[in-house]
Structure 1
Amino acid sequence: MTVELVNRSGALVPETQMHTLIDFGIEYMELNPECEISLTFVDPQEMEELHIKWMDEPGPTDVLSFPMDLPQSKGEAVTLGDIVIAPAVAAQQAQSAGHSVEEEIYILATHGLLHILGYDHADPDEEKVMFALQEKIVKEWSLTVTK
């Protein structure tokens, strides 16, 4: 698995864990481990610019996903797309949720991966499926890593 990780946020992020989480998510979703994905951490200003440009919505958001290719056949290695996360927004959400910033970042990265793979939460049934799956992936991954 090729995870290109770039941190322009100015915040410390759990880089090693991000690589293993994305690798785990790709394997969990039964995709070719040679699929490529880009994971970028940005500051709130850059995230707000992206949010306005691509979603036509004001203010920074927590995570954005930019899908590129989906495998046309099982086992095909493709460039899946880009995930962009704002750690400062994640920190605010983590405080509200009562867990660590790292945990919030893990949830957001998994959420972004699922969006790239076509999952959505536009309606309550989709939301239930997507959020349960992201929770399951993060939980199962966390049992396999030493933090």
Structure 2
Amino acid sequence: MTLSLEWIDEREGGAGQREEQWMEALEKLLAIAGRKEEVERGIVTLTLTDDEGIRELNRQYRDLDKPTDVLSFSLLEGEQADIRYEDEYESSAEGEESWEDDDKAGDPFSDLLGDIVISVPRAEAQAAEYGHSFERELGFLFVHGFLHLLGYDHGDEEEERLMFAKQEEVLREAGLVR
């Protein structure tokens, strides 16, 4: 298994050709960030939503009743790290041989790194506010969310400096500069 991106578009009207192009760019960013962080395998789920959708999640999970630009829900840390598939997992004999880690065999969720949720309208507004492309802003938010999935935070100045430097390095390598 490799590092892969799955995505959902919850916005009214859903995804179109433009979003397909975004996903190609985000898959490239995921590959770059994964290589730099030595993450060789896993699944990241990205949900594109609107301000109301992300506001509801922000209220429900962070007690902040306002929209934000990006939220991350890691399955590698905190309480959610203990979530496991409890039912017996049925597979054929040949499927059982494909598991590389016997401790994770039978756990179809073991490769999930977590979920990233991005408000597309918020990303569009911030791109205009900061004077750079929408693609750069979307990439910034995605890499930011991915680093949160891996446990990075920006609770103090040193953590913020480290996290933002890592983000900029990935974006620069992908050609998404300000």
Deviation at 1:23, TM superposition (A): 2.0
Match of residue 48, structure 1, among 55, 73, 84: 55
1:38 to 30, 41, 45: 45
**How many Å separate the matches in 2 of 1:131 and 1:55?**
22
**Identity across the alignment (%):** 37
Q: How does 1:8-47 map to 2 (within 5 A)?
A: 8-10=10-12, 12-13=18-19, 14-32=22-40, 34-47=41-54
Give the equivalent residue in structure 2 for 1:60: 67
Partner of 1:6, secondary structure, is strand
Aligned to 2:129: 96
SS of equivalent residue, structure 1 residue 58:
coil
Give the RMSD, CA atoms, in angstroms.
2.0
Separation (CA, whole Å) in 1 of partners of 2:45 and 2:123:
18
- Once residues 120 and 173 of structure 2 are traced to their aligned partners in structure 1, the CA distance between those partners, rounded to angstroms, is 23
Q: For the residues of structure 2 that align with 1:36 and 1:142, how far apart are their CA atoms?
A: 24
Aligned letter for 1:9? R
Structure 2 unmatched runs, 5+: 78-100, 102-109
- C-alpha deviation, 1:24, in angstroms: 1.9
Answering whether residue 93 of structure 2 is matched by residue 83 of structure 1, we say no
1:121 aligns with 2:154: yes
Secondary structure of residue in 1 paired with 2:11? coil
Aligned length: 138
Structure 1: segments with no counterpart, 5+ residues:
71-75
Structure 1 window deviating more from structure 2 (82-91 vs 16-25): it is: 16-25
User: Structure 1-normalised TM-score?
Assistant: 0.86
Q: Which of 1 and 2 has greater Rg?
A: 2
Q: What TM-score comes out, normalization by structure 2 length?
A: 0.72
2:142 aligns with 109
